[in-house]
Chains A and B, each alone.
Chain A
Amino acid sequence: MTTPVQTPAPAPTPAHRRPATSAPEARGHLWVYAVLAGGLVLLVGPFLWMLLGSFKPDAELRQVPPTWLPASPTTDNYRQLFTQLDFPQFFFNSTVVALAITVGNLVFCSMLGYALAKLQFPGKRVVFALVLGMLMVPGMVTFVPLFMLVSQLGMVNSYPGLILPWLAQPFGVFLMRQFILGLPDDLIHAARVDGAGEFRIFTRVILPLCGPALATLGILQFLATWNNFLWPLVVAQSEEKYTLPVALALYAIGENSTRYGLLMAGSVATILPILLIFVLLQRYFVQGIAMTGLK
C-alpha cells in the first residue's frame, strides 16, 4: 500500500525477542500474558454480561445476589423489542441514515481530496486551511444554528434533516487527500495525453486506486454515524424517525428505565451490527489510524 503518511513499519524481528525459550524470559512473558488477559476480562466482561443478561427475565436481573448464567433463559426481551417497541423501524432508520451519510462523504470527500492533492486551482490553500480548521471545531458550536436552519427548512423530524448536514465532513477530505498524494502524478499526465477528460481521469484512473482509503473512510464514517447521538436526539422527534441510540437512550431514562431485560436486549441489538463489521474488517481500523493519526 502506498500511504503518504508513514505507516509504522512492522517491528523488525528483534534480536532480544529470540531467546523467548530461556527460562526467565518465558516467565516474564507469562506474566505479561496474565496481565493482558486480566485486562481483557475487564474490557470484554461487560459485553458478555450484557449478552447473558439479555436472556434473563427482569426479576432475575434484579435478584440479589445476581446470577451469572441465565437461570431460566428466555427470549422474551428480544420478542418485546419487536412487539412493544418498534425496533425494526429504529434499525431501518439507523441503517438508512448511516448509509446515506457514508455514501455522501465517500463521493464528496474523494472529489475534494483529489482536487487538493493533484490539481492546481486558485484558492486551493484557502480551501484546504478552511476544511482542516473545521476539524478543530467542536460539534456543540454548530449545533444551535444548525438546528435553527433545519427547522427553517422544515426538515425537523425527517430523513433529510438527519442526513443533509453531515454529507460533507472535513475528516474524510483529510484522509482522502493524504492517500491520493501518494499516487504517482504520471498516471494523470498519461491519461491527459491520451485525451481523457478530467472527470474521466478521476473515475477511471484515480478512484480504482483508492480502494483501501475508500474502505477505511467508509467503515469509520458508517460507525461514527451509527453511534452518533446528539443530532438525531434533537432532530428525530417522533418514534418513527428514532435511530437506535436515540431510542435506547430515551427508553433508558424514560418510563421503561427499570425494564433491565429490555434495555440489555436493546443494547445488544444496537451493538451487534457494529461488532460484526468491526471483527470482520478490523484491519481497516488500524489502517485508518495509521493513515490520519500518526505522522
Chain B
Amino acid sequence: MASATAQRPARTGGNRGARVRRREGIAGWGFALPFLLVFAVFMAGPVLASFAMSFTDLRSADLRDPLGVNPIGLDNYVKLFGDDTFRQAALNTAYFVVVGIPLTMVLGLAAAVGLDAGITRFRTFFRVGYYLPVVTSIVAIAVVWRLLLEPESGIVNTLLGYLGIDGPNWLTDTRTAMPALIVMAAWRNMGFLMVIFLAGLQAIPRDLYEAAAMDGSNAWSRFRHVTLPMMRPTLLFGGVITGIGYLQFFEEPFVMTQGGPLDKTLSVAFYIYNQFGFGNYSYAAAISYVLFIAILVLTLVQFRLLRSKT
C-alpha cells in the first residue's frame, strides 16, 4: 500500500514523517476539492433535495414563493399507487426490461460466440459494425427507425410485403408499438454486450473445451456446460448494466411514439418528464425515487444470483 512506503522517511528523520503525512493530507484534499465542490453542488445536493422535495407539495409556481411549500409526508407516494397512468408506465417499463434484457443478451452473446469461433478475417470490421449503433445518438436512431417502420413507404413493411405479409402500422398499433421499441433497443445495445461478452469468452481457458471435446461432448453441450457456467459473472454484469439503462428508457418513446398509442409506450422516465412539464415538481421527484429503488432492487437481485451460484 502507498501508506507503508510513504512513511519510510519517518524512521530516518524524527518528525519528518508527520510533516510528510500532513503535507500529503493537504495535497490530497487539494486535489479532491475542485471535483467535490462541483459534485456537491450539482449532484449530491440535488440527490438529497430530490428526496426531501418528494415529501412536500412543491410545484413550479412555488419557485417564486418558497413559503408556499408544505410538508405532506408520504402523500406523493400514496398518490402514486392510485395513479392509473403511473401504473401503466410502470407496467410498460417492466415489459420493456423483462423482454428487452434477455433479447439483447441473447443477441449479444450470439454475436460474441460467432466472433470467438475462429473468425480471423474481418474481425475488426465486424466489431466496428456491430458497435456502431451503440455510439450513435439515440435520437438520430429513433428518427431513422420511425421512418423504417412507416406503414406504407417504410422498408420493414416493404420487405414483409415481398414475403406476402401485410405488416401493421407498427408505432400506432397498441399491440406492436412496444415490441417495436424493444427490438430497436436490442438492435442498438447488442453491440455493447457483444464487446463485453467477447472479453469474457476469451478469458475462458481453452483446455476446458479440449477436455470436453475429448470426452465426446458436441458443440452445443460444450456451450451449455463450459461456456455458460464460465461466463456467469460476465453475463450478470451485462444484465445489470443493460437493466439499469433499460429501466430509464426515455428517448425512444419521446421521438417515436410520444408515449402512445393510448400510453402503451409511456415509460416511467417519460412520465417523470411529463409531470415535471406540468409543474408537479415534488410528484416528479417522488416517482424518480421509486425508479431509483427499482434500479437498486434489480441490481441487488442480480448480484444475489451471482453470489449464490458461484
Candidate in A46, A61, A114, A151 with the most chain B CB atoms within 10 angstroms: A46
Max chain B CB contacts within 10 Å: which of A42, A141, A148, A245? A141
Residue among A124, A136, A245, A266 facing the most chain B CB atoms (10 A cut-off) = A245
Asked if residues A245 and B21 are in contact (CB atoms below 8 Å), the reply is no
* Cβ proximity bits A252-277 to B, threshold 8 Å, 1 near / 0 not: 11000000100110110011001100
Give 1 or 0 for each of B272-310: 1 = CB within 8 Å of chain A CB.
Answer: 110010000100110011011001100100000000000
A138 to B250, CA, bound (A): 12
Which residues of chain B are within 8 angstroms of A168 by Cβ–Cβ distance?
34-36, 38-39, 42-43
Q: Are A46 and B144 in contact (CB under 8 A)?
A: yes
Instruction: Name A148's contact: one of B32, B63, B202 (CB within 8 Å).
Output: B63
- Contact in complex: B63, A271 (CB < 8 Å): no
> Across the two chains, which residue of chain A brings its CB closest to B53?
A145
* CB within 8 Å for A138 and B288 given contacts A49-B148, A119-B2, A131-B39: yes
Q: Could you tell me which residues of chain A, from 240 to 295, have a CB within 8 Å of some CB in chain B?
A: 244-245, 248-249, 252-253, 260, 263-264, 266-267, 270-271, 274-275, 278-279, 282, 285-286, 289-290, 293-294
Contact with B along A130-144 (1 / 0, CB 8 A): 110010111111111
CB–CB B213/A16 < 8 A:
yes
The answer to whether A141 and B288 touch across the interface, beta carbons within 8 angstroms, is yes
Q: Is the CB of A189 within 8 A of B5?
A: yes
**8 A Cβ contacts from A168-188 to B:** 168-170, 173, 185
Kindly state the separation between the CA atoms of A50 and B47 in the bound complex, as whole angstroms.
40
> Which of A16, A47, A108, A138 is within 8 Å of B34, CB to CB?
A108
User: Which chain B residues border A266 with CB–CB below 8 Å?
Assistant: 140, 143
Query: Would B199 and A229 count as touching, CB distance under 8 A?
Result: no
**A residues within 8 A CB of B139?**
227, 229, 245, 248-249, 252, 270
A32 and B295 in contact (CB under 8 A), knowing A120-B6, A121-B29? no
Say yes or no for B145: interface residue by CB 8 A criterion.
Answer: yes
Interface assignment of A115: CB less than 8 Å from any CB of chain B: yes
Which of B26, B117, B136, B155 is A66 in contact with, Cβ under 8 Å? B155
Q: How far is the CB of A11 from chain B (nearest CB, A)?
A: 5
Interface size class of A (residues with CB under 8 A): 35 or more
* Complex CA distance for A119 and B126, rounded to whole angstroms: 43
B187 contacts the other chain (Cβ, under 8 Å)? yes
Asked if B251 CB lies within 8 Å of chain A CBs, one says: yes
Once bound together, how far apart are the Cα atoms of A62 and B143, in whole Å?
15
Contact A120 B28 (CB under 8 A): yes
Taking a contact as CB atoms closer than 8 A, the residue among A14, A143, A223 that contacts B206 in the complex is A14
- Per-residue CB contact flags for chain A residues 4-45 toward chain B (1 = under 8 Å, else 0) read 001011111011110010000100110011011001101110
A215 at the interface (CB under 8 A from B): no
Contact, CB under 8 Å: A32 / B117: yes
**Once the chains bind, are A263 and B39 in contact (CB under 8 Å)?**
no
- Do the beta carbons of B158 and A65 come within 8 Å of each other? yes
Q: Is the CB of A43 within 8 A of B187?
A: yes
Q: A229-B138, A289-B199 are in contact. Are A164 and B119 (CB under 8 A)?
A: no
Closest to B254 in A: A249
CB of B294 to closest CB in A, whole Å: 9
Whether A147 is near chain B, meaning CB under 8 Å from some CB there, is yes
Partner of A138, one of B39, B128, B281, B292: B292
Pairwise interchain contact A141-B47, C-beta atoms closer than 8 A: yes
| Chain B residues, CB < 8 A from A120 | 2-3, 6, 21, 24-25, 28
Q: Which residues of B contact A63 (CB under 8 A)?
A: 153
Contact in complex: B38, A164 (CB < 8 Å): yes
The answer, among B8, B140, B273, B281, for a CB contact under 8 Å with A271, is B140
Q: Which residues of A contact B158 (CB under 8 A)?
A: 65-66
Contacts of B291 in A (CB 8 A): 138, 140-141
Does A81 interact with chain B (Cβ within 8 Å)? no
What residues of B have a CB within 8 angstroms of the CB of A229 in the complex? Answer: 137-139, 250-251, 254
Which of A64, A151, A164, A199 meets B152, CB within 8 Å? A64
User: Could you list 7 examples of A-B contacts with CB < 8 Å?
Assistant: A121-B24, A136-B296, A143-B272, A147-B276, A148-B281, A248-B140, A271-B136
User: A-contacting residues of B (Cβ < 8 Å)?
Assistant: 2-3, 5-6, 8, 20-21, 23-32, 34-36, 38-39, 41-47, 49-50, 53, 63, 111, 114-120, 122, 124, 126-133, 135-148, 152-155, 158, 161, 187, 191, 195-196, 199-200, 202-203, 206, 209-210, 213, 234, 237, 241, 244, 247-248, 250-251, 254-255, 258, 269, 272-273, 276, 281, 284-285, 288-289, 291-292, 295-296, 299
15 additional contacts (CB under 8 A) given A144-B276, A230-B273: A14-B206, A43-B191, A46-B145, A111-B32, A120-B21, A136-B296, A145-B53, A146-B42, A199-B27, A226-B137, A227-B139, A266-B140, A275-B136, A279-B128, A289-B199
